[in-house]
Amino acid sequence: MTIELPRTAARAPLVDPFARHITYLRISVTDRCDFRCHYCMAENMTFLPKAELLTLEEIDRVASAFVERGVRKLRLTGGEPLVRRNIMSLIRTLSRHLDSGAMDELTITTNGSQLARFAGELADCGVKRINVSLDTLDPDKFRAITRWGDLAKVMAGLDAAQDAGLRVKINAVALKGVNEDEIDGLIRWSHGRNMDITFIETMPMGEIEFDRTDNYLPLSEVRRRLEQHWTLTDIPYKTGGPARYVEAAETGGRIGFITPMTHNFCESCNRVRLTCTGTLYMCLGQDDAADLRAAVRASESDDLLHATIDEAIARKPKGHDFVIDRRNARPAVARHMNVTGG
């Protein structure tokens, strides 16, 4: 006689106190990076010891718990995610959620330095599109911004990604006095290669060697300048993140704007962020967090992990408190962007 055991009840979707459904998890798989972009990291960074990092198996366990709770999109970030040892084994493992239909998208944000090595494997794992961070097309300026990056290597990575069939979106941080004179050129170049481009306002995260107010460029000003010689039309296009998109009639391409400073986008936030140490941040611009590493390591069952996730989502705030001005010279949060995930 066959005895049927009772099925475990399906776990409830994740909904925060403001009725926002959490469907998007960004995972920083490493705090390490082969660049040192000056608005993101200090030049002499102290990176985390290996023992503090989630193993790749633990990252998969946490990610899978979120997928079980209704997360449909996973984005791997860093640091630079492709410098994490054996990263492709994690991506291959996570891709099972694409095959099962439990997840809509698995994607990464990268600086492009390692794409020539990994683009083909990424495509084979079901990754359809990627974001590549690129703030300038000038090799000397690129090296100055990244401190030791090689633009030619990134360009070779972009070629490899597109040859592999990956759709590429360029992310560019708008920096006053640094790349504001290149914004038109970046648009024409990216659209000419059939790539969307998103501009991002610099955010006050972590101590760096200079005053961010010197380079802060409001995207409201960028758009005002663009509209003097571009025909921009607001469109409802969404990728699951905070960017608001316009279409440029001159190229037919899309331009996104991520505006944490000038236009708070928190009312529709569907995201949480997991660091490489297992710390879950419910908001990029707040310090409140939950320790998922302790929950994972305390029990082979996922019950404690799910309970910890539930408690965290119940504390998700309405919005962030980013401010950049001369009276607020200190960062809004002490951690650098590479810790939380770009």
Determine whether the annotation assigns residue 39 to a binding site.
yes
Determine whether the annotation assigns residue 293 to a binding site.
no
b/e map 68-93, b = 16+ CB within 10 Å: bbebbbbbbbbbbbbbbeebeebbeb
User: Using an 8 Å Cβ cutoff, are 187 and 140 in contact?
Assistant: no
User: Using an 8 Å Cβ cutoff, are 29 and 76 in contact?
Assistant: yes
Give dist(CA 57, CA 278) in Å, integer. 12
Determine whether the annotation assigns residue 266 to a binding site.
yes
Determine whether the annotation assigns residue 277 to a binding site.
no
Determine whether the annotation assigns residue 125 to a binding site.
no
Give dist(CA 148, CA 139) in Å, integer. 11
Determine whether the annotation assigns residue 109 to a binding site.
yes
Tell the residue number behind the tokens 């003097």, with chain if given: 228
Determine whether the annotation assigns residue 271 to a binding site.
yes
Determine whether the annotation assigns residue 62 to a binding site.
no
Listed residue (179, 214, 229, 213) closest to 199, CA to CA: 179
β 254-258/244-248 pair status = antiparallel
Give dist(CA 236, CA 184) in Å, integer. 23
Give dist(CA 8, CA 3) in Å, integer. 15
Listed residue (68, 128, 115, 45) closest to 87, CA to CA: 115
Residue 64 makes CB contacts below 8 A (sequence gap 6+) with: 94, 97
Residue 51 makes CB contacts below 8 A (sequence gap 6+) with: none
Determine whether the annotation assigns residue 79 to a binding site.
yes
Q: Is 232 helix (H, G, I), strand (E, B) or coil?
A: strand
Binding residues: 26, 33, 37, 39-40, 75, 79, 109, 133, 169, 203, 266, 269, 271-273, 283
Binding residues for GTP are 26, 75, 109, 169, 271-273
| Residue stretches of the annotated binding site for S-adenosyl-L-methionine | 39, 79, 133, 203
- Can you say which residues are annotated as belonging to the binding site for [4Fe-4S] cluster? 33, 37, 40, 266, 269, 283
